[in-house]
């Protein structure tokens, strides 16, 4: 009784496997991976889950808006994730092969990158969003896909460009440290801090972001006495709030995404209202989405990023106008997430135009063109250094009280930090230790070149 | 026949499908097989398999040349052996702690193992940190699986066959038979003089050994290892794979893994955008619905569905029997339906 049944069972299993294989084979045939001449395939990788999942449409929207504004792209739905068709650059059809949906982990980012590049046949990838993802994708680009081109989305870990140095990975956004440029000097010289504590999520981006503050603050003569690192995804910060010393002149907060809102609430529950003279934050504090969620507790405090949110120059207006195809993304124009993906697609469009859409020869001509691109961005020019890492202006910004009838605070840009480079004038190099919980050490050195050369600004 | 077909699969599929669907299904299948071994033969549903395979993966990744971690530069094979040994030892230790617990308590202890391992590697930056260890050197024979996925595919296939045959063999040994006796009635086995806790702890060690093979293959497969790949979601994924395939059928491990990795990949292509409700980024929703349907329709998973259909057909051929109406728990190679063990 048992024997025939077992055989039949095995036959069934084999049939099932055959069926499954046939299905995957069919599916595979439907998505050809060869590059047809006349078509340039682009994949866009962002996060649709995890701490930064809420920026998914801002990211994709930033990139696709460029195609709509300059290259004839037509949105196929009201949301960026619905896709875009019809764009042409230098006579070549631009096909968006798909959107990668990661969750700020390196594992998922690589899985999604491989799906876009290897399965859907993307010639060029724009992404990813988060620090560790960027390091993983840069490694993948260098080791596994030297003949394809990768433009970073908005990930900002220093290591991705300074250490990995993949010749085919281009980052047109500053890294986390560059986005903190100007704050160490502001804390020391304007707010009179001599000692500080720092707190940030325990992964590559905050390591970089806080390193920018630590390097500058310590180079001038300040001392960072405590570094606290809650794991990314922490939902209860009470034990970390308790670790922050109260006998320091100030605290620098580098917690990002959804965690920042919880942290600030719990900090106030434990220590009372936030004093704007003793608190300072990185670029997350002035992101439109997060600022709306946080509300007024941060009024008066100072943060920095690559964005001058109150800039009303023609250049900025043109950028905001470019995003009009997606109204929700346009509302978040002054977000580094939107700007990062916009910059990548803008640079790609310029480079593809300059090589006449030629991606043959393992894309070497395209990559050479990309290395020389200078973007006339909404908040200043962005060029690349020899590691294909952005050199750009940084902006120190103060949170202002909400305008009448609103509960969302405003932003006032107070300082321009010109031409911030990744090395901080030699502070960081390919031979300095990877940034982590204890690196960089707090040391008095020659301050970065912009210290003392900040340009006060007033956009009215 | 199935194995022969899979051996020939590389001539049918392109390298992406071979790598991202089939190889992934094979190593996920081994991880799920370690769970199914414990549940079907030992009556232990463990959520600790992800933690255990992570120990193997991280140990190996720390010992070889890699970006991040200890980067000790060991020979990859020696590091692999060390990874499997450490994870197996870790499994026996966890088994010793968990073996006196049953049901929901066993589930919670093993879940705690996975969570502890996740936080350990996410927080101990000298061994990993949140970003994990990248560019892990595999043995020369495996090479770079992104450039040439064939060697890793065959390695995963051979490992799967060995695991399958090994578990089947073990089930017939006195140890395996005693384990099944313990699964069915621990009190009676205790009365017969068997050391129930020791048996369960050792079985957990065997499960850990199997899981550690999956852990090694997973690192070769992704060429990196990070806590993001062993988080709570992955712990649940392994359970979902086992349940989709059939929690009490060894074959179910690979059937479930193949279905899982196929849906994981292709749902992103096929899924239409319906506002914010449905879209390619709603993969978990799809898996969740399939999971619900399978659990409702057949507690024995996909393999259970096959079997009950087959049993019905046979009965129909034989004419009405006394037990018509309820499908009987058919014995297949010593594995029985044992929902009571849950």
Q: Which of B9, B13, B131 sits opposite A106 (nearest CB)?
A: B131
Q: Which of A8, A21, A119 sits opposite B9 (nearest CB)?
A: A21
pLDDT of residue A182: 97
A6/B332 CB distance under 8 A: yes
A18/B268 CB distance under 8 A: no
A202/B130 CB distance under 8 A: yes
- Strand-pairing partners, residue B134, are B67
Residues A268 and A398 in one domain: yes
Instruction: Please give the backbone phi and psi of residue A67, each rounded to the nearest 5 degrees, phi first.
Output: -65, -40
Task: List Cα–Cα distances, A265 to A226, A261, A306, in angstroms.
Answer: 21, 6, 26
Domain total for chain A? 2
* Residue B311's pLDDT band (cuts 50, 70, 90): confident
Task: List Cα–Cα distances, A460 to A456, A457, B335, in angstroms.
Answer: 12, 9, 77
pLDDT of residue A364: 96
* Residue B98's pLDDT band (cuts 50, 70, 90): very high
Q: Does B16 touch chain A (CB under 8 A)?
A: yes
Using CA atoms, how far apart are residues B253 and A13, in angstroms rounded to an integer? 12
Tell me which of A365, A383, A401 is where a domain ends. A383
Q: Which chain A residues in 41-100 lie under 8 Å from chain B, judged by CB atoms?
A: 48-49, 56, 77, 79, 81-82, 98-99
CB crowding A420-457: b at 16 or more within 10 Å, else e: bbbbbbebbeeebebbbeeebebeeeebbebbeebeee
B74 to chain A nearest CA, in Å? 21
Burial of B93 (C-beta count, 10 Å sphere; 0-12/13-18/19+): middle
CB crowding A174-204: b at 16 or more within 10 Å, else e: bbbbbbbbbbbbbbbeebebeebbbbbbbbb
Answer yes or no: is A6 within a domain.
no
Contact B271, B282 (CB under 8 A): yes
Residues A101 and A229 in one domain: no
- The 10s digit of each residue's pLDDT in A246-296 is 899 999 999 987 789 899 999 999 988 889 999 999 999 998 888 888 888
Domain ranges of chain B: 2-261
Q: Which chain A residues in 256-275 lie under 8 Å from chain B, judged by CB atoms?
A: none
Average pLDDT estimate for B69-94:
96
Task: List Cα–Cα distances, A73 to A38, A69, A83, A420, B84, in angstroms.
Answer: 16, 7, 10, 34, 52
Using CA atoms, how far apart are residues B255 and B263, in angstroms rounded to an integer? 12
Residues A189 and A223 in one domain: yes
- Residues from chain A that touch B255, judged by Cβ atoms under 8 A, are 13, 16
Residue A44, pLDDT above cutoff 50: yes
Using CA atoms, how far apart are residues A149 and A146, in angstroms rounded to an integer? 8
pLDDT of residue B276: 67
Residues A207 and A341 in one domain: no
B2-261, what's its fold?
A: ABC transporter involved in vitamin B12 uptake, BtuC (1.10.3470)
Using CA atoms, how far apart are residues A104 and A116, in angstroms rounded to an integer? 17
How far is the first Cα of chain A from the last one, in angstroms, to the nearest whole number? 89
Using CA atoms, how far apart are residues A187 and A302, in angstroms rounded to an integer? 9
Q: Does B272 touch chain A (CB under 8 A)?
A: no
Residues A51 and A142 in one domain: yes
Answer yes or no: is A162 within a domain.
yes
- Residues from chain A that touch B268, judged by Cβ atoms under 8 A, are 98, 101, 115
pLDDT of residue A8: 53
User: In this predicted model, which residue has the larger pLDDT, A430 or B326?
Assistant: A430
Answer yes or no: is A2 within a domain.
no
Sign of CA dihedral B137, B139, B143, B146: negative
Average pLDDT estimate for B263-292:
77
Angle in degrees, CA B78, B82, B86, rounded to 5: 175
Average pLDDT estimate for A297-316:
94
Contact A236, A30 (CB under 8 A): no
Residues A120 and A86 in one domain: yes
Answer yes or no: is A410 within a domain.
yes
Residues A295 and A193 in one domain: yes
pLDDT of residue A23: 44
Q: Which of B20, B144, B332 sits opposite A114 (nearest CB)?
A: B20
Helix (H) and strand (E) counts in chain B:
14, 0
B13/A28 CB distance under 8 A: yes
Contact A249, A196 (CB under 8 A): yes
Residue span of the structural domain in which A286 resides? 178-310+393-456
The two three-digit tokens of residue A424, written as one number:
């901080």
- Residues from chain B that touch A48, judged by Cβ atoms under 8 A, are 281
pLDDT of residue B334: 42
Outline where DSSP puts E strands in A12-70.
Answer: 39-47
Cis status, amide bond into A128, omega within 30 of 0: yes
Q: Which chain A residues in 100-129 lie under 8 Å from chain B, judged by CB atoms?
A: 101, 103-108, 110-111, 114-115, 118-119
Residue A154, pLDDT above cutoff 90: yes
Contact B217, B225 (CB under 8 A): no
- Residues from chain A that touch B1, judged by Cβ atoms under 8 A, are 10-11, 14
- The 10s digit of each residue's pLDDT in A71-125 is 999 999 889 998 999 999 999 999 999 999 998 888 899 989 999 999 899 999 9
* Residue B4's pLDDT band (cuts 50, 70, 90): confident
Domain of A257, CATH number, reads: 3.40.50.2300
Residues A199 and A226 in one domain: yes
**Which run of H or E residues covers position B199?**
helix B196-222
- The 10s digit of each residue's pLDDT in A318-366 is 999 999 999 999 999 999 999 999 999 999 999 999 999 999 999 999 9
pLDDT of residue B318: 67
Closest-approach residue (CA) in chain A for B121:
A231
- Residues from chain A that touch B58, judged by Cβ atoms under 8 A, are none
Q: What does R_g of chain B's alpha carbons equal in angstroms?
A: 20
Angle in degrees, CA B223, B83, A433, rounded to 5: 55
Lowest mean pLDDT among A350-354, A389-393, B263-267: B263-267
Q: Does A184 touch chain B (CB under 8 A)?
A: no
The two three-digit tokens of residue A290, written as one number:
């997060």
Q: Which chain A residues in 150-179 lie under 8 Å from chain B, judged by CB atoms?
A: 157
Q: Does B314 touch chain A (CB under 8 A)?
A: yes
Residues 6+ apart with CB under 8 A from A129: A45, A46, A47, A52, A55, A59, A102, A104, A153, A154, A155, A337
Average pLDDT estimate for A362-381:
97
- The 10s digit of each residue's pLDDT in A128-148 is 999 989 999 999 999 889 999
B60 to chain A nearest CA, in Å? 17
Give the CA-trace dihedral at B134, B140, B145, B151, to 10 degrees: -150
B13/A33 CB distance under 8 A: no
Residues A285 and A340 in one domain: no
Q: Which of A14, A18, A27 sits opposite B266 (nearest CB)?
A: A27
Average pLDDT estimate for B172-191:
95
Using CA atoms, how far apart are residues B172 and B194, in angstroms rounded to an integer? 17
Tell me which of A359, A383, A407 is where a domain ends. A383
Contact B175, B199 (CB under 8 A): yes
Q: Which of A398, A384, A392 is nearest to A418 (CA)?
A: A392
Percent of chain A with pLDDT over 90: 76
- Residues from chain B that touch A99, judged by Cβ atoms under 8 A, are 280-281
Residues A287 and A334 in one domain: no
Residues A183 and A166 in one domain: no
Residues 6+ apart with CB under 8 A from A229: A199, A200, A201, A202, A206, A437
Using CA atoms, how far apart are residues B208 and B92, in angstroms rounded to an integer? 8
Q: Which of B124, B140, B144, B147 is nearest to B70 (CA)?
A: B124
- Residues from chain A that touch B6, judged by Cβ atoms under 8 A, are 17
């Amino acid at each position: 009784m048992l024997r025939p049944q077992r055989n039949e069972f095995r036959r069934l299993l084999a049939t099932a496997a055959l069926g499954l294989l046939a299905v995957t084979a069919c599916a595979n045939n439907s998505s050809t991976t060869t590059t047809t001449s006349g078509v340039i395939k682009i994949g866009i990788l962002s996060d649709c889950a995890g701490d930064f999942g809420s920026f998914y449409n801002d990211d994709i929207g930033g990139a696709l808006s460029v195609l709509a504004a300059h290259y004839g792209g037509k949105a196929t739905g009201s949301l960026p994730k619905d896709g875009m068709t019809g764009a042409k650059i230098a006579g070549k059809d631009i096909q968006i092969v798909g959107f990668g949906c990661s969750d700020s982990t390196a594992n998922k980012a690589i899985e999604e990158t491989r799906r876009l590049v290897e399965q859907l046949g993307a010639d060029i990838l724009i992404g990813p969003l988060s620090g560790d993802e960027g390091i993983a994708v840069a490694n993948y680009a260098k080791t596994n896909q030297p003949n394809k081109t990768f433009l970073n989305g908005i990930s900002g870990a220093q290591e991705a460009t300074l250490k990995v140095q993949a010749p085919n990975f281009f980052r047109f956004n500053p890294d986390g440290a560059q986005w903190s440029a100007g704050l160490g000097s502001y804390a020391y010289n304007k707010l009179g801090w001599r000692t500080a504590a720092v707190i940030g999520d325990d992964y590559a981006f905050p390591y970089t972001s806080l390193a920018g503050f630590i390097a500058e603050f310590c180079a001038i003569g300040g001392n960072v006495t405590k570094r606290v690192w809650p794991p990314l995804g922490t939902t209860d910060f009470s034990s970390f709030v308790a670790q922050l010393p109260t006998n320091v002149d100030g605290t620098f907060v580098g917690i990002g995404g959804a965690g920042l809102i919880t942290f600030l609430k719990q900090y106030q529950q434990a220590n009372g209202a936030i004093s704007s003279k003793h608190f300072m934050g990185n670029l997350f504090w002035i992101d439109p989405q997060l600022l709306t969620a946080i509300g007024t507790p941060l009024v008066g405090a100072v943060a920095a990023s690559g964005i001058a949110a109150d800039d009303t120059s023609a250049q900025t207006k043109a950028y905001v106008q470019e995003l009009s195809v997606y109204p929700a993304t346009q509302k978040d124009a002054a977000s580094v997430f939107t700007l990062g993906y916009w910059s990548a697609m803008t640079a790609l469009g310029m480079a593809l135009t300059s090589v006449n859409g030629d991606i043959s020869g393992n894309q070497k001509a395209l990559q050479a063109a990309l290395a020389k691109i200078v973007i006339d961005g909404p908040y200043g020019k962005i060029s690349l250094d020899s590691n294909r890492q952005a050199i750009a202006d940084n902006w120190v910004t103060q949170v202002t009280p909400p305008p009448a009838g609103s509960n969302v605070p405003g932003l006032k840009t107070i300082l321009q930090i010109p031409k911030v480079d990744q090395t901080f004038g030699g502070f960081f190099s390919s031979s300095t230790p990877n940034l982590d919980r204890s690196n960089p050490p707090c040391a008095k050195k020659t301050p970065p070149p912009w210290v003392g050369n900040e340009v006060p600004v007033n956009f009215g | 026949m199935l194995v022969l077909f899979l051996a020939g699969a590389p001539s049918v599929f392109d390298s992406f499908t071979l790598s991202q669907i089939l190889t992934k299904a094979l190593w996920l299948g081994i991880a799920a097989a370690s769970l199914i071994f414990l549940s079907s033969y030992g009556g232990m549903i463990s959520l600790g398999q992800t933690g255990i395979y992570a120990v193997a993966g991280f140990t190996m990744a720390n010992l070889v040349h890699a970006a991040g971690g200890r980067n000790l530069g060991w020979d990859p094979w020696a590091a692999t052996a060390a990874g499997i040994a450490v994870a197996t030892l870790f499994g026996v230790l966890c088994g010793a702690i968990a073996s006196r617990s049953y049901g929901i308590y066993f589930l919670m202890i093993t879940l705690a193992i996975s969570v502890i391992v996740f936080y350990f590697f996410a927080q101990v930056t000298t061994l990993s940190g949140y970003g994990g260890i990248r560019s892990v050197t595999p043995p020369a024979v495996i090479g770079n699986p992104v450039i040439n996925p064939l060697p890793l595919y065959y390695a995963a296939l051979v490992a799967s066959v060995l695991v399958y045959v090994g578990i089947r063999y073990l089930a017939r040994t006195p140890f395996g038979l005693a384990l099944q006796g313990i699964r069915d009635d621990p009190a009676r086995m205790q009365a017969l003089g068997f050391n129930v806790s020791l048996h369960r702890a050792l079985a957990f060690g065997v499960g850990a050994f199997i899981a550690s093979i999956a852990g090694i293959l997973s690192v070769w497969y992704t060429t990196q290892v990070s806590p993001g790949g062993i988080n709570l979601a992955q712990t649940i994924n392994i359970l979902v794979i086992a349940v989709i395939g059939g929690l009490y059928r060894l074959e179910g491990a690979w059937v479930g893994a193949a279905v899982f990795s196929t849906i994981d990949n292709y749902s992103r292509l096929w899924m239409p955008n319906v506002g914010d409700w449905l879209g390619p980024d709603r993969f978990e929703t799809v898996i969740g619905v399939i999971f619900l349907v399978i659990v409702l329709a057949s507690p024995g998973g996909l393999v259970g569905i096959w079997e009950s259909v087959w049993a019905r057909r046979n009965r129909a051929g034989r004419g009405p029997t006394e037990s018509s109406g309820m499908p009987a728990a058919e014995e297949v190679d010593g594995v029985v339906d044992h929902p009571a063990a849950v």
